[in-house]
Amino acid sequence: MLTVAEYSQEITLLPADNQRLSNFCGQLDIHLRQIEQRLHVEIANRSNHFKITGVDAAVQAACAVIQKLFDQADKEEITPEQVHLSLQDASIDQLLQPVPTVKSDPVAIKTKRGVIKGRGENQQDYLRKILSHDINFGVGPAGTGKTFLAVACAVEALQNETVRRIILVRPAVEAGEKLGFLPGDMAQKVDPYLRPLYDALYDMLGFERVEKLLEKNVIEVAPLAFMRGRTLNDSFIILDEAQNTTTEQIKMFLTRVGFGSTAVITGDVTQIDLPSEKMSGLKHVLKVLKDVEGISFTFFGVRDVVRHPLVQRIVAAYDRYEQEQTS
């Protein structure tokens, strides 16, 4: 029977600050247990001295995560979500097959409610591309920050006066549910479809500020059908849920982009709500534009999910199931 040799490494975290150590370890050492469970290692500690035991690559990953989180614990509160993200960045498969990369400075988006940073290399790369390309695609499952980061870039561009307005667009497709008659004016009718975009804006600018900008039409939230015939200059335009556009709609949208504008198109090709006979415009455009210079593509996977760890497992389970069905 083949056994895997275990390996131990000891590290001492300095300075020996009890408050910082408590923040790092979490209540009842919950953060240490999270690292143990994910990397299949054992962590023993006395004060600021830690001994990590397990497979060599896992021990190295655990040491890197522990040091990174302890460094962060000096400036901010450590949460289970941060532990989860640090574990993502130090995955064992990457350590076993290291790929040399050029480290770039982290991108930080400044909004009135604070600084927003990409979590993990893929989100950082997404932000860099949005800041350097006029048309950008962010494609991947729910919880990967595609829309939230795009809205953050839009808010920063508006605050820096690099654009004059933000336009948030969604196709008004019912997600498998018949909503029936919706009362109110047009804005109220499309509200249910656009609520996630409002939520992101409220997070970054505050409710009152967003309402004022909406009144002045500096921020415009509209269904995709309203884009026809318009040319949008000096604007930051986000098309969310693009998997539910038709091929004609997404072509129409892309040809609305004018001078001084940035467009971000986000979607999840595994959650298409269009009738089965209609092809998703997002799926189609990814093939059509894949070699067009000046357009960026960022593809997110299960590892990029930054919500509850169970969300990541749910996405992975659906991916496996769909692959089994098609094979």
Q: Calculate mean pLDDT across residues 261-275.
A: 88
Q: How confident is the model at residue 91 (pLDDT cuts 50, 70, 90)?
A: low
Q: What's residue 175's pLDDT? A: 43
Q: Helix, strand or coil for residue 304?
A: helix
- Per the CB < 8 A criterion, the answer to whether 166 and 156 are in contact is no
Q: What confidence tens digit (pLDDT) does each residue in 24-52 have?
A: 999 889 899 889 888 889 999 999 999 99
- Statement: residue 59 has pLDDT above 80: yes
Q: Calculate mean pLDDT across residues 58-78.
A: 92
From residue 240, alpha-carbon distances to 101, 273, 307 in Å are 31, 14, 19
Q: Which residues pair with 10 in a beta bridge?
A: 51
Q: What's residue 193's pLDDT? A: 64
Q: What confidence tens digit (pLDDT) does each residue in 194-227 have?
A: 777 888 888 888 889 999 999 999 999 888 887 8
- Statement: residue 304 has pLDDT above 80: no
Poorest-pLDDT segment among 29-38, 69-78, 103-112: 103-112
- Statement: residue 282 has pLDDT above 90: yes
Tell me if the bond preceding 275 is cis, omega within 30° of 0. Answer: no
In angstroms, the CA 59 to CA 62 distance is: 5
- DSSP type of residue 216: T
> 40 or 166: which carries more pLDDT confidence?
166
Q: What's residue 308's pLDDT? A: 67
Sign of CA dihedral 99, 318, 296, 309: negative
pLDDT > 90 fraction of the chain, expressed in percent and rounded: 40
pLDDT mean across residues, the chain: 83
Q: Calculate mean pLDDT across residues 296-318.
A: 79
pTM: 0.66
Q: What's residue 303's pLDDT? A: 76
| Radius of gyration in angstroms for the set of CA atoms belonging to the chain, rounded to a whole number | 23
Q: Helices 186-205 & 146-159, crossing angle to 10 degrees?
A: 80
Q: What's residue 270's pLDDT? A: 83
Domains of the chain: 7-96 (3.30.1370.10), 108-326 (3.40.50.300)
Nearest CA-CA partner of 29 in 54, 12, 46: 46
Q: Pinpoint the alpha helices (H) of the chain.
A: 18-25, 30-39, 56-72, 80-89, 92-96, 121-132, 146-159, 186-205, 207-215, 247-254, 281-288, 309-326
